[in-house]
């Protein structure tokens, strides 16, 4: 593994700061999380974007949230396509093993993944349409959302950010373990969208069929 190098100094320094600061102040919590195991009440599916910090958003500590992050916070539908497996395996473990009570799909403003999907579906990003584009083939998950918002808004990318949350929430229900847990009242699904610059958080109101302020 000649391509693997030691940590750069800035990460080593940050680790040491954490060990002497946050870890030292919470060492009993970490010890308890190991002896008692993890029992997070919620799973958060968010974008890999560095500006989206779902744990900070909810004032979370280690053990509070089971996290899954991917490009554009997408949940693929259940199918034979192995593209689903990274995300669906995390959800399956959270629901069936950890018995989490809530799944939150968290979208965000200025999502590069969603913008890429919009460009691809609009015919403006042929590189994403290539069969060997990992990003493009992943963003195919969001194509049904594009078809639904096309021509609906002056800001189609922002509309697609929110539509993508709904696509993912719908796709969640294609997994039997999710559907059964939702229908038995053991699990609830939530759709959120954060405006990064203002900190404003919207949630999907299923009776109003729109995103409303939290
Ligand atoms: Zn994003």
- Predicted confidence at residue 1, as pLDDT, reads 85
What's the CA-to-centroid distance between 4 and ligand 1, angstroms?
Answer: 28
Same domain, 165 and 178: yes
Q: How confident is the model over 31-84, as pLDDT tens digits?
A: 999 999 999 999 999 999 999 999 999 999 999 999 999 999 999 999 999 999
**Model confidence band, residue 2 (pLDDT cutoffs 50, 70, 90):** confident
Q: How far apart are the first and last CA of the chain?
A: 48
What's the CA-to-centroid distance between 98 and ligand 1, angstroms?
Answer: 26
Same domain, 78 and 133: yes
Same domain, 21 and 100: no
Q: How many angstroms separate the CA atoms of 171 and 194, rounded?
A: 21
Please enumerate in sequence order all residues whose Cβ is within 8 A of that of 210, keeping only pairs 6 or more positions apart, or say none: 204
What's the CA-to-centroid distance between 164 and ligand 1, angstroms?
Answer: 11
- Predicted confidence at residue 38, as pLDDT, reads 96
CATH number of the domain within which 158 lies: 3.40.1050.10
Same domain, 124 and 18: no
Q: How many angstroms separate the CA atoms of 22 and 100, rounded?
A: 26
Same domain, 18 and 60: no
Q: How confident is the model over 73-127, as pLDDT tens digits?
A: 999 999 999 999 999 999 999 999 999 999 999 999 999 999 999 999 999 999 9
Q: Which domain holds residue 26?
A: 1-36
What's the CA-to-centroid distance between 11 and ligand 1, angstroms?
Answer: 24
User: HSE on the CB side for 209, CA within 13 Å?
Assistant: 0
Same domain, 60 and 138: yes
Find how far residue 198's CA is from the centre of its chain: 20
Q: How many angstroms separate the CA atoms of 12 and 38, rounded?
A: 27
Q: How many angstroms separate the CA atoms of 49 and 139, rounded?
A: 15
Same domain, 32 and 111: no
Same domain, 21 and 74: no
What's the CA-to-centroid distance between 2 and ligand 1, angstroms?
Answer: 32
What's the CA-to-centroid distance between 109 and ligand 1, angstroms?
Answer: 8
Same domain, 173 and 67: yes
Same domain, 66 and 106: yes
- Predicted confidence at residue 190, as pLDDT, reads 98
What's the CA-to-centroid distance between 203 and ligand 1, angstroms?
Answer: 17
Q: How many angstroms separate the CA atoms of 77 and 88, rounded?
A: 9
Same domain, 183 and 78: yes
- Predicted confidence at residue 156, as pLDDT, reads 97
Q: What is the pTM of this model?
A: 0.96
- Report the domain count for the chain: 2
What's the CA-to-centroid distance between 208 and ligand 1, angstroms?
Answer: 25
Nearest alpha carbon to residue 106 among 56, 199, 168, 155: 168
Give the per-residue SS3 of 11-66.
HHHHHHHHHHHHHHHCHHHHHHHHHHCCCCCEEEEEECCCCCCHHHHCCCCCCCEE
CB 106 within 8 A of CB 46: yes
Mean per-residue pLDDT, 162-191:
98
Same domain, 106 and 58: yes
What's the CA-to-centroid distance between 1 and ligand 1, angstroms?
Answer: 31
Q: How confident is the model over 20-32, as pLDDT tens digits?
A: 999 999 999 999 9
Nearest alpha carbon to residue 158 among 114, 213, 201, 98: 114
């Amino acid at each position: 593994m000649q391509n693997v190098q030691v940590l750069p100094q800035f990460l080593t320094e940050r680790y040491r700061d954490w060990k002497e600061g946050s870890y030292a102040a919470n060492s009993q919590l970490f010890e308890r999380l190991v002896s008692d195991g993890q029992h997070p009440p919620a799973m958060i599916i968010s974008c890999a974007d560095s500006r989206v910090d779902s744990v900070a958003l909810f004032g979370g500590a280690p053990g509070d949230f089971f996290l899954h992050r991917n490009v554009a916070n997408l949940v693929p539908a259940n199918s034979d396509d192995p593209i689903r497996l990274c995300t669906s395996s995390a959800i399956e473990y959270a629901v069936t093993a950890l018995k989490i009570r809530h799944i939150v799909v968290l979208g965000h403003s200025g999502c590069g993944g969603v913008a890429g999907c919009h460009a691809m579906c609009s015919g403006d990003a042929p590189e994403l349409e290539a069969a060997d584009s990992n990003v493009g083939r992943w963003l195919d998950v969001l194509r049904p959302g594009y078809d639904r918002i096309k021509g609906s808004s002056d800001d189609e990318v922002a509309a697609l950010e929110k539509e993508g949350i709904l696509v993912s929430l719908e796709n969640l229900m294609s997994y039997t373990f999710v559907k059964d847990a939702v229908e038995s009242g053991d699990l609830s699904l939530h759709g959120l969208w954060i405006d990064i610059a203002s900190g404003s958080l919207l949630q999907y109101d299923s009776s109003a069929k729109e995103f409303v302020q939290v």
